[in-house]
Structure 1
Amino acid sequence: MSAKRMQLFAFFISVTLIWGCQLEEQEFIPDVSGIEAEVDIRRFDQALFQLDTNDMQPELQKLMEAYPELSTLYFTHILRANDPRTAPDGPAPYVKGFLQHESVRNLYDSVQVHYPNMSDIEAELEQAFRFFQYYFPDEPVPNVSTLISEYAIAAFVYGENDLGISLDYFLGQDYPYQKLNPRDPAFSAYLTRTFNREHLTSKAIQTLINGLVPPARQQRLLDLMVNNGKKLYILDKLLPYAPDSIKLEVTGPQAEWLEDNELEMWAFLIKEDLMYETDNRKIRKLVDYSPHSPGMPEEAPGRTANWVGWQIIRAYMEKHPETTMQELIALEDAQGLLDASRYKPGR
């Protein structure tokens, strides 16, 4: 056993001797009511599908003038209308064919039925952006536009923190996602359960956070779970009133299971010698989307190591309250962060 593993094992033994009850701590929620963060969602999806297809070239030009950055990204990377291999006759005929395709029109109609207006989402995003400005005062506040990507991508950041949200990824659990391509793991039931309005704001904010937190420097489980723990910590600060089940993308009972089994999860990671494991086959489901965490009870959702990583970050920030979000993000040494957190899993 390596010196670092011995050190972590000794730390775990000391915790089990102390046990200790996890205190119910009152999370600090700053008053952001005085911060301006007006959100006016721009409906690129409606602007695109309302184009006059009998006069495509000038119509496309107007759209691109109204949405310069988003239009370039959308037509180049999502529709690939600027690629002569997929659009040999040029962008205008290709986009016209896209807009007139029956399945695409049906998808657009479904989006309009589910999202005739988005005032509730605007209110949620405004609140999140107030917290965003509080914790990240030097970052530009995002502009938000909606689109239809034909299931290519749920949300993305472009420009200077601007958010693009594909509404076709948020049509609700009754929408037949799994029938689109039954073999596509992206449409598995445990994932499509969250393809709804309730998860839209959280998923969009997660995308924003992913652009702020760089990838883990190393690929050990410890590095990955701490890195993902940072993201969950920031998400929790930007959406302090959202249920953990929404932020974690698990069911209510699964969120309760995580709360009730913190020590057992930590003990499992230690016992199975997984903390410094780099084999993706052994650790992937502990940090990436998965219906379950292998080796744990059936009630355990996937990505359990991320939840433990979140608790490590919370412990660190409790011990070092002077740490800013920017400073937390910059901490690359996962082992050093764990040691400094003096993390004690709740029993």
Structure 2
Amino acid sequence: MFRKTFLVLTLFLVFACNEDSKQREEIDKINIEFKVERFDQKFANAEPEDLPQLKRDYPFLFPAQYPDSVWVNKMQDSIQLELNTEVTAAFKDFSKEEDELKTLFQHIKYYFPSFKAPTVITVTSDVDYRNKVLLTPDFLFIALDTYLGKDHQFYMGIQEYLKKNFERAQILPDVASQYAERYVPQPQKKNFLATMLYYGKLLYLKDRWLPDTPDFEKIGYTEEELKWADANEEQIWRYFVDKELIFDSDTKLYSRFLYPAPFSKFYLELDNESPAMLGQYIGWHIIRDYMDKNDVSLQEMLDTDAETIFNKAKYKPKK
């Protein structure tokens, strides 16, 4: 009996590996063309007399209500000059990120054939960390001054839970998040479960699009935070169940368990040990279980309501 079970398991793993390898080959063959425009460098190297040409090339970056004097002053501003120096030193070569973006775009197009790659424009943003990545129908803007490393001097005074994701490695997951929001429908119901699974769907798209990215980077955790969540998955779920939070519509649960914060708020002594967004973490695992146990396409999952997914996932947290 043991030999038969072992043989079946071995054949299953071999088949799964072959399917994964075949899929990767298909994705690698997808033709993706896009440009990376280093506006940050062009602005850093510009003189006042270059401003008219910059405005012609990038009119969307120069709002009409601001006179030219604003941009000339910015070119000569000491803080902007320091930003230019630090970003140039850190991102003199952007080729690695360009290759990673190409692979991401190939994955998105594989699952969503109508996808069109954008023009990627790198900028500085006065460390506007609330808008590290901005996506429009034609352009993808990446603010490089928000990815200089969590210990950079520019980030003094910013809370640690935010700074931890000001790392270069976070560019790709942040871009993937922006695209995932385009493909995941907003939840039909406004309760904790539906919102958990909305975030779970976003993270599951990252599973498909970023197969080589560690889970902790997909969700925006440190390695230690993900280890804590993994070690306490059963206790997190039991708390949600015991407190009858699953179908609760109290929006305060979002700030407690779904949004970025210093920690999750169980109102227990362990709060300071816990990472934020544990509702997203649980929603992610429910979606993974649903996809593992049901023969459905990615699009079918995205279109399926939360209660159906929850019932069919038969989610059981790791002990």
TM range (shorter): 0.7 to 0.9
Equivalent residue number for residue 226 of structure 2: 255
Q: Distance in 2 between matches of 1:323 and 1:111?
A: 42
Q: CA deviation at 1:321?
A: 3.0
State, as a whole percentage, how many aligned pairs show the same letter.
26
Q: CA deviation at 1:40?
A: 4.1
CA contact (8 A) 1:154 1:166 kept: yes
Secondary structure of the residue aligned to 1:190 is helix
Equivalent residue number for residue 49 of structure 1: 44
Decide which of 287, 300, 309 is 1:327's aligned counterpart: 300
How high is the TM-score relative to the length of structure 2?
0.85
Distance 1:257 1:142, change over 3 A: same
CA contact (8 A) 2:200 2:285 kept: yes
Distance 1:176 1:216, change over 3 A: farther
Equivalent residue number for residue 290 of structure 2: 316
Q: CA deviation at 1:256?
A: 1.7
Q: CA deviation at 1:208?
A: 1.7
Q: Is 1:159 aligned to 2:137, yes or no?
A: yes
Decide which of 163, 167, 175 is 2:152's aligned counterpart: 175
Q: Is 1:219 aligned to 2:163, yes or no?
A: no
Distance 1:258 1:264, change over 3 A: same
Question: 4+ runs of 1 displaced by more than 6 Å?
Answer: 25-28
Equivalent residue number for residue 5 of structure 2: none
How do residues 67-106 of structure 1 correspond to structure 2 at under 5 angstroms?
Answer: 71-72=59-60, 74-76=61-63, 82-83=64-65, 87=66, 90=67, 92-106=68-82
Equivalent residue number for residue 68 of structure 1: none
CA contact (8 A) 2:34 2:117 kept: no
Q: Is 1:34 aligned to 2:5, yes or no?
A: no
Q: Is 1:111 aligned to 2:106, yes or no?
A: no
Q: Distance in 2 between matches of 1:249 and 1:54?
A: 42
Secondary structure of the residue aligned to 2:247 is coil
Q: Distance in 1 between matches of 2:209 and 2:189?
A: 27
How do residues 115-264 of structure 1 correspond to structure 2 at under 5 angstroms?
Answer: 115-152=91-128, 153-160=131-138, 162-179=139-156, 182=157, 187-264=158-235
Q: Deviations over 1:160-194 (max 9, x none)?
A: 4x311000110112212443xx3xxxx21121122
Q: Deviations over 1:220-264 (max 9, x none)?
A: 111111000000000111111111111121121221222222221
Structure with more contact order per residue of length (Cα contacts < 8 Å, sep ≥ 6): 1
Matched AA of 2:53 = E
Equivalent residue number for residue 288 of structure 1: 259
Q: Distance in 2 between matches of 1:151 and 1:225?
A: 30
Matched AA of 2:309 = L
Q: How many residues align?
A: 295
CA RMSD of aligned residues (A): 2.1
Q: Distance in 2 between matches of 1:164 and 1:338?
A: 36
Matched AA of 1:100 = Q
Q: Deviations over 1:200-235 (max 9, x none)?
A: 111121112122223323331111110000000001
Q: Distance in 2 between matches of 1:169 and 1:283?
A: 25
Q: Distance in 2 between matches of 1:116 and 1:63?
A: 22
CA contact (8 A) 1:39 1:125 kept: no
Distance 1:105 1:339, change over 3 A: same
Matched AA of 1:155 = V
Q: CA deviation at 1:340?
A: 2.2
Q: Distance in 1 between matches of 2:316 and 2:50?
A: 65
> What stretches of structure 1 of length at least 5 have no aligned partner?
1-24, 65-70, 77-81
Higher helix proportion, which one? 2
> What stretches of structure 2 of length at least 5 have no aligned partner?
1-12
